[in-house]
Homo-oligomer: A and B are copies of this chain.
Amino acid sequence: MEVTVGEGRVRMGMIGGGEGAFIGPVHRAAAELDAEIALACGAFSADPVRSVRSGVEGYGLSRERCYANAAALFAGELARSAGERMQFVSIVTPNHLHVPQALAAVRAGFHVVCDKPLAMSEAEALALAEAARRADRLVAVTYNYTGYPMIREARHLVASGALGRIRRVQCEYLQGWLAQAQPDNKQADWRVDPARAGAAGCFGDIGSHCENLVHFVTGLEMEAVCADLNRFVPGRQLDDDGNVLVRFAGGARGVIIASQVAVGEENGLCLRVYGERGGLAWCQQEPNTLRVSFADRPCEERRTGGPGLSAGAMAATRLPAGHPEGFLEAFANIYRNFARAIRAHEAGDRAGVAALAGEFPDVRDGVRGMRFLASVVESSARDGTWVSM
């Protein structure tokens, strides 16, 4: 016998995320955190048996909605009634499958959530953007770190002009888990394979988050990059470390740093922004604190749920101050906003959809991210020549 949950939830499917996957259960937990979305179906593995087993055993789904592959998922769901059919599909496969699967989804009429980086190339990303536009489908890209309340607060601070014109931006993302070859690690496996990860390794996996976070918070457009990518682990074909100088339109300058061989670092994504009048600093590992500093008065610690926050930060907050909200909650904010956009879209509420622009990363963010990766790879290949974007 089954439990049922009501009509209130947006129905989600998933491609990928089967047994042994790290990110699939994260997406499910994040999506369902607020009781606004329910995982209804999926094709969880390239192996049909495994796909079904993952759905039934891992996610508690009915067998009939666990499909052998993506094509079967689309077909099967289209065969269901509109009120039962999945409304969007979340694609959590390796990078090379993102766009083919997303294209199929939007053409079949489904909205899409896709992991980052969105594509294998900017051209591929643009093709998806165009297809989604034609099909009038929404696409979200899970640059999940933009979901943190204090990142929302940071964006507000910059936009409000409180820091003055931005001069300097630093964003670093340091991990250590790839400091050695990881022959038996499924997570590592495809990330170091150009055929599945794309032209950028470490920068594709985590440097891409830096680019997006910088854009989200500052609104600045990169004008040119000068990159030095490295491969430290013997035999590795893609960068596992790199440093990138950045020039932004309007005169700001900065640096983006990413490494997966920084031994002992966990998931060290930190952002600092300095304007003419003030600065801010945020680190993902203590995500509920945003440090804001000024020349002429003591620095402030703004806190998730604390006093003095902007409406945008409050909207991304679920608990009173001091009740730590973490990675899943930030991720959930992306999903929740996307679900609300879907609801508005299905209700024909164009203004409602437009009001949610910027509240979840979308296909334009995905395209811009691919341009960044291509430029970084090119600059590094040309020994650090500045490459215009």
Chain A interfacial positions (CB closer than 8 Å to B):
1-9, 11, 22, 25-26, 28-29, 32-35, 38, 40, 56-57, 59-62, 81, 83-84, 163-164, 167-168, 170, 172, 175-177, 179-180, 226, 228, 230, 232, 241, 243, 245, 247, 251, 253-255, 257, 259, 261-268, 272, 274-279, 284-288, 292-303, 305-308, 318-329, 383-386
Contact = CB atoms under 8 A, between A and B. Distances in A.
Nearest to A84: B1
A383 to B, nearest CB: 6
Nearest to A187: B320
Given A302-B298, A320-B266, A29 B34 contact: yes
B267 A253 contact: no
Given A3-B40, A228-B245, A266-B306, A285 B324 contact: yes
Contact of A5 (B60, B257, B268, B383): B60
Contact of A321 (B25, B34, B179, B266): B266
B386 A386 contact: no
A295 B263 contact: yes
A1 B6 CA distance: 8
Contacts of A176: 274, 279, 293, 295
A274 B232 CA distance: 12
Given A228-B245, A253-B228, A274-B262, A4 B3 contact: yes
A266 B322 contact: yes
A27 B277 CA distance: 32
A7 B132 CA distance: 36
Contact of A81 (B1, B168, B251): B1
